[in-house]
Amino acid sequence: MVRLTHFDEQGDAVMVDVSAKDVTARTATAKGRVLMQAETLKLIMSAGVKKGDVLSVAQLAGIMGAKKTSELIPLCHPLPLDSVQLSLDCLPEENAVEITATAKTQGRTGVEMEAMTAVAVAALTVYDMCKAADRGMHLTDIRLTEKSGGKSGTFKAP
């Protein structure tokens, strides 16, 4: 039976003790999308949003979000991030912005939460910057797509 690592034998929440783990190179990639009206995506692509360049601001916000992950997620270890890369791609055929984030560190625990937080914060920023034009946007499919490093090895989403 799989045991949840953030609970002790009494069922109390605990921060996982990673002190005995080896320091290894760890990488995680996450993706997500913001779905919107076609006109909203056209505004983004033509730099027509009054608040500024939506994709650049969201990219920066995602990087900042990754750096703050341990302050946002209870029991999440603060990690020295070596790299956080974000790409935001407009998909006109789907009326969507697809967000991909990759986080890297040399550490004792993985960077999955940092990658997913980067995607979520970038997506929220797209929403915030465009909500005046389209309050019906929605964030979807935020998920881990790949990770490597550590005892559990490599994961690739199907």
**Continuous segment of H or E residues that includes residue 52:** none
Task: At 115, list the tokens.
Answer: 């990658």
Concerning whether 128 is annotated as a catalytic residue, the answer is yes
Residue 110 CB partners (closer than 8 Å, separation 6+): 26, 28, 147, 149, 150
Residue 77 CB partners (closer than 8 Å, separation 6+): 15, 16, 18, 70, 107, 108, 109
Number of residues in the chain = 158
Catalytic: which of 8, 12, 22, 128? Answer: 128
As a whole number of angstroms, the distance between CA 44 and CA 39 comes to 9
- Give the residue numbers marked as catalytic: 128
